[in-house]
Each structure stands twice: as C-alpha cells, then as structure tokens.
C-alpha cells in the first residue's frame, strides 16, 4: 500500500479527528487568554507536544506526514541526531532537532533545544551512548527552540554566527526568570537564564573531532540572517538547522525566502545523502526540494494576489497549497505570505514584523468567520507563541 493509498483510506477519520482537535484548541486557547495564562504560554513558547494541529484543515486527497519519535539516533560512527517526536495530530511547532559528534575527550552539540526537558534528555542520552560530556555547543541560529537550552550545557564553549549572538544578547535581558511547567518543555519550575554565545564566526569553521571532519558553514541569509549548517563530508551528512523543515510547514518570520531557496539549490549540489532538518524527520535531498517547492507554490499563488493588490491576510484566506496543506503547522501560510509580500514591496528586514503578521491573521480570521468557517479560525495567541518558539 502506498502512502497515498494509506492516507486515502484513513483520510476522512483523520480529518474529522483533526477538526475536533482544532475546535478543542480554539476553545482552550480562548480560555487561556481569558484566564491570564497567556503570558506564560507566550513566554515558554507553544506547548509543543500536546497541541493538536490547528486549522486550516488538511486535504484528504493528499498524504499525511509520517510520525516519528524522540530518540538519539546514530547516523555514522560518533555521529548522532537527537530527534524530537512529531507527526499528524502532534504539533512540532517549538520542537527542534539537534546533533551530536563524539570526540575522544568530549562531545560537540549542534543546538541546545527549547528548554529543560529536551535539553536534559539530549545530554543524558548522549552521556549514556558515549560515556562523555559536552565540551562545545554550536548554534545553527538564534530561535528559542534552538538556544533556550543553552544554560543546561554547563562548562561548554558556545559558538555561533555574530547575528545569532546579537539576537540572543537582545533577548537575554528580557527572558523570563523561571521555567514554568509546560508540556514537552519543562516538568518543574526552575531558574531560567538565556546564555549567549562567547565565540562567533562568519567564515566556514572546520573541526576535526577525533577524525570526523565537521564543516560549520555560514549559509545565511536564509531562514535567518545568521544560519549555520554542519556538513560532514566523510559521511555525506548535513545538519541543516532550520534551513530544513521536512513535513512541517517552514517558518519564515525572520527569513529572506528567495535567498533561502538559493541555499536549498546550493545544498542540492553538495555530496550529501542524509539531511537532518531542524523540524521534522530525517530525510534526503528530496525532502529539502519539497520544502523549497512549498515556497515556490506559495510564491506563485501569493504573487498573483499581490499583483491584484489583495492584502496578505485576504490572500492567505484564499490560497490552498495542495499537498502542503497537510504539513504540520499550516497556519504558517499566513506569516510566509506576509514575508513574500515584504520581499516584493521592499520592506523586508531581518526582524520579525509582528504587527504585519497580526494584522494579516486578524483579516484572515475575519474572512473565515464571515464565511462561517469557524473551524479555520486561528487563535492569535497561537501565532504569537509560534513567533517566539521556532
Ligand atoms: Zn528557527
């Protein structure tokens, strides 16, 4: 049975289940907003492992994403990926993947994950697999789900692109002082501190880790202005950070999407077989090409409407992306449309334009409400939580 057949067979019941989930989410978020819990939700990022997929609804004509588990997976001798769980019905919003290379004396981490639970889980799994502790941490970019766990990597040198460092430095003084229990992120209240990198690099940085060559390549602007990927030529592996979203709708709030597409093209020319995305299951060049295709389909659809002087919010309410409507995080279509518009009207900067995304989401929701399509209304809290977590 092919994936497509499988999805057709299961499509209707899944769709119904997701609709139910979306309704429950809307109710729950509304309750949170009214109950004063919104602050902690936003501060911690989306409660990633428990939030059902929000609207818009998936399209049963196309395959659903696979499910994958949280695990430390060995990819080659001394090379591991720490994968976060995800799949249909489970939002992978703030849940990012990390990497690890074991050297003779210490371990090198690629990203620190979102909070105490995933970071401590990563550190414990790495210790169990190798008997060693981390000595270096290289960050792929500044987003919270990749750097909020920095504080748990004690006694390590932290490295990043200068843009990543400057964004972390900006966020550190205003970061909450405590971790509060949040499903998938923190199980107990404990002190919280955002630790900035101490070493920056702009050219490629090449490590020889016990005979494993790791090329940390600065490829941005793409997902952000400070993206770094880790390429291991001997093993034909690349850790993409958030340059890669597989089966998860790409998040473009800090992106230069055209340049991101150029980076996808460039990586397609590398001698690489195994691609570890920042979000989603491990894949190959095909999966990276699919993510690029998401942006290309959206570009065509959004550009038609931009040229017709339609607003980004109204365009988002109309656009369907075919098979990509089933990807996890479909509400990102709105922020990604806003970002394409900013590229075209010349207003693009490295910063997230929160006001524009908010305005587009309100307009999108207004159109859905008018059409009595309340199942597709997107809670503003969710968009805001997303903005802080990915
Ligand atoms: Zn990111």
**C-alpha 242 – ligand 1 centre gap (Å):** 5
The encoded tokens of residue 372 equal 């009595």
Residue 42, pLDDT score: 29
Q: Are 363 and 20 in contact (CB under 8 A)?
A: no
**C-alpha 4 – ligand 1 centre gap (Å):** 29
Please state which of the ranges 170-174, 195-199, 332-336, 370-374 shows the lowest mean pLDDT. Answer: 370-374
**C-alpha 134 – ligand 1 centre gap (Å):** 23
Q: What does DSSP say about strands 79-83 and 212-218: parallel, antiparallel, or unpaired?
A: unpaired
Q: Where are the beta strands (DSSP E) in 240-332?
A: 274-276
**Residue 229 region, left (φ>0) first, then alpha (ψ -120 to 50), else beta?**
beta
**C-alpha 88 – ligand 1 centre gap (Å):** 20
Q: Which residue has the higher pLDDT, 64 or 315?
A: 315
How far is the C-alpha of 324 from the C-alpha of 29, rounded, in Å?
25
Confidence of residue 38 (pLDDT cuts 50, 70, 90): very low
Half-sphere exposure of 33 (CA within 13 A, CB side): 13
**Distance separating the N- and C-terminal Cα atoms of the chain:** 34
**C-alpha 248 – ligand 1 centre gap (Å):** 12
Q: Name the H helices within 217-284.
A: 257-268
- Kindly report the CA angle at 341 between 339 and 347, in degrees rounded to 5? 80
For 82, counting Cβ atoms within 10 Å of its Cβ (0-12 exposed, 13-18 middle, 19+ buried), the class is buried
Q: What average pLDDT does this structure show over 128-145?
A: 97
**C-alpha 256 – ligand 1 centre gap (Å):** 13
Q: Which residue has the higher pLDDT, 86 or 73?
A: 73
Q: Which of 108, 40, 49 is nearest to 79 (CA)?
A: 108
**C-alpha 143 – ligand 1 centre gap (Å):** 5
Q: Are 144 and 389 in contact (CB under 8 A)?
A: yes
Q: Where are the beta strands (DSSP E) in 130-245?
A: 134-138, 157-160, 178-179, 190-191, 199-200, 205-209, 212-218, 228-232, 237-239
Three-class SS state of 295: helix
**C-alpha 141 – ligand 1 centre gap (Å):** 7
**C-alpha 370 – ligand 1 centre gap (Å):** 33
Three-class SS state of 57: coil
**C-alpha 48 – ligand 1 centre gap (Å):** 14
Residue 14 above 50 pLDDT?
no
**Residue 246 region, left (φ>0) first, then alpha (ψ -120 to 50), else beta?**
beta
Q: Which of 230, 229, 232, 299 is nearest to 261 (CA)?
A: 299
Q: Are 41 and 47 in contact (CB under 8 A)?
A: yes
**C-alpha 229 – ligand 1 centre gap (Å):** 12
**C-alpha 26 – ligand 1 centre gap (Å):** 25
Rounded to two decimals, the pTM is: 0.85
Q: 324 φ, ψ to 5°?
A: -75, -15
Residue 52 above 80 pLDDT?
no
Q: 237 φ, ψ to 5°?
A: -120, 145
Q: Are 139 and 226 in contact (CB under 8 A)?
A: no
**C-alpha 138 – ligand 1 centre gap (Å):** 14
**C-alpha 5 – ligand 1 centre gap (Å):** 33
Q: What average pLDDT does this structure show over 69-85?
A: 94
**C-alpha 118 – ligand 1 centre gap (Å):** 16
**C-alpha 228 – ligand 1 centre gap (Å):** 11
Ion ligand 1: protein residues whose beta carbon lies under 5 Å: 143, 242
**C-alpha 140 – ligand 1 centre gap (Å):** 9
How far is the C-alpha of 117 from the C-alpha of 136, rounded, in Å?
20
**C-alpha 67 – ligand 1 centre gap (Å):** 21
């Amino acid at each position: 049975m092919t994936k497509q057949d499988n999805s057709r067979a299961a499509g209707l019941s899944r769709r119904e289940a997701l609709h139910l989930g979306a309704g429950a989410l809307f109710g729950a978020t509304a309750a949170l907003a009214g109950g004063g819990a919104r602050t902690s939700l936003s501060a911690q990022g989306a409660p990633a492992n428990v939030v059902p997929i929000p609207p818009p609804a998936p399209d049963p004509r196309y395959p659903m994403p696979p499910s994958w588990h949280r695990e430390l997976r060995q990819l080659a001798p001394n090379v591991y990926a720490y994968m976060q769980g995800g799949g249909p019905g489970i939002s992978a919003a703030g849940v990012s993947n990390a990497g690890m290379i074991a050297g003779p004396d210490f371990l090198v981490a690629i990203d620190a994950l979102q909070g105490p639970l995933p970071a401590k889980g990563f550190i414990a799994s790495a210790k169990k697999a190798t008997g060693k502790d981390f000595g270096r941490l290289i960050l792929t970019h500044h987003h919270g789900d990749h750097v909020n766990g920095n504080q748990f990597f004690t006694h390590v040198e932290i490295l990043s692109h200068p843009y990543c460092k400057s964004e972390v430095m900006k966020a550190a003084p205003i970061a909450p002082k405590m971790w509060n229990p949040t499903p998938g992120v923190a199980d107990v209240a404990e002190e919280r501190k955002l630790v900035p990198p101490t070493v920056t690099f702009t050219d490629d940085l090449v490590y020889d880790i016990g005979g494993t060559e790791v090329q940390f390549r600065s490829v941005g602007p793409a997902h952000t202005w400070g993206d770094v990927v880790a390429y291991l030529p001997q093993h034909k592996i690349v850790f993409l950070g958030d340059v890669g979203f597989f089966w998860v709708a790409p998040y473009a709030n800090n992106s230069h999407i055209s340049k991101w597409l150029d980076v996808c093209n460039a990586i397609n020319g590398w001698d690489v077989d195994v691609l570890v995305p920042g979000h989603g299951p491990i894949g190959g060049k095909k999966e990276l090409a699919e993510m690029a295709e998401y942006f290309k389909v959206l570009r065509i659809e959004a550009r038609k409407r931009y040229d017709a002087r339609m607003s980004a919010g109204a365009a988002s309410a109309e656009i369907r992306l075919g098979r990509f409507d089933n990807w996890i995080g479909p509400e990102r279509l709105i922020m990604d449309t806003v970002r394409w518009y900013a590229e075209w009207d010349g207003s693009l900067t490295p910063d997230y334009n929160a006001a524009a995304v908010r305005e587009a989401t309100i307009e999108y929701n207004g159109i859905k409400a008018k059409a009595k399509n309340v199942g597709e209304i997107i809670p503003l809290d969710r968009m805001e939580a997303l903005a802080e977590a990915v």
